Structure 1
Amino acid sequence: MHSLGDEIKGFSKNRLKKQCTRVTTLSGKRIIETWKDSLVHVVDDPDQQDGPTCGYVQDLSMDLQIGVVKPWLLLGSQDVAQDQDILKKYKVTHILNVAYGVENVFPDEFTYKKLSILDLPETDITSYFPECFDFIEEARLQNGAVLVHCNAGVSRAPAIIIAYLIHSEKLNFARAFSIVKNARPSVCPNPGFMEQLHKYQDCSRRQTDVIHEKTD
Structure 2
Amino acid sequence: MQSLTQEIQSFSRTRLRKQCTRVTSLSGRRIIETWKGSTITVVEDPVPPEKMLGYVPDTSWDLQVGFVKPYLLLGDANRTRFIWVSHILNVAFGVENVFPDLFIYKTVSILDHPDTDLLQYMQDCCDFIQQKGVVLVHCNAGVSRAPAVVIGYLMSCDGQPFEDALSAVKSARPASSPNPGFLEQLRNYKPPTMNGSFFCSGVFCVLKLLSNGAVLFSSNSTSIITQ
Q: Which TM class, normalised by the smaller chain length?
A: 0.5 to 0.7
Residue identity (%): 54
Pairing of 1:87-166 with structure 2 (within 5 A): 87-138=80-131, 142=132, 144-166=133-155
Measure how far apart 1:157 and its partner are: 0.3
Q: 1:51 aligns with which of 23, 26, 36?
A: 23
Residues in 1 aligned to 2:90 and 2:105: alpha-carbon distance in whole angstroms: 7
Measure how far apart 1:99 and its partner are: 1.1
Structure showing the higher helix proportion among its residues: 1
Counterpart code for 1:183: A
Residues in 2 aligned to 1:170 and 1:125: alpha-carbon distance in whole angstroms: 18
Point out 4+ residue stretches in structure 1 off by more than 4 angstroms.
none
Structure 1: runs of 5+ lacking an equivalent: 1-48
Partner of 1:43: none
CA displacement 1:98-157 (0-9 Å, x = unmatched): 11222111111111111221110001011110110000001xxx2x21111110100000
Q: 1:189 aligns with which of 178, 182, 200?
A: 178
CA displacement 1:149-200 (0-9 Å, x = unmatched): 1101000000000000000011101111111112111001000000000111
Q: Which protein has greater RCO, CA pairs closer than 8 Å, 6+ apart?
A: 2
Residues in 2 aligned to 1:110 and 1:189: alpha-carbon distance in whole angstroms: 26
Q: Output the TM-score relative to the length of structure 1.
A: 0.62
Q: Match of 2:98, SS? A: coil
Equivalenced residues, count = 150
Higher Rg of the two aligned structures: 2
C-alpha change, 1:71 and 1:145, in structure 2 (3 Å) is: farther
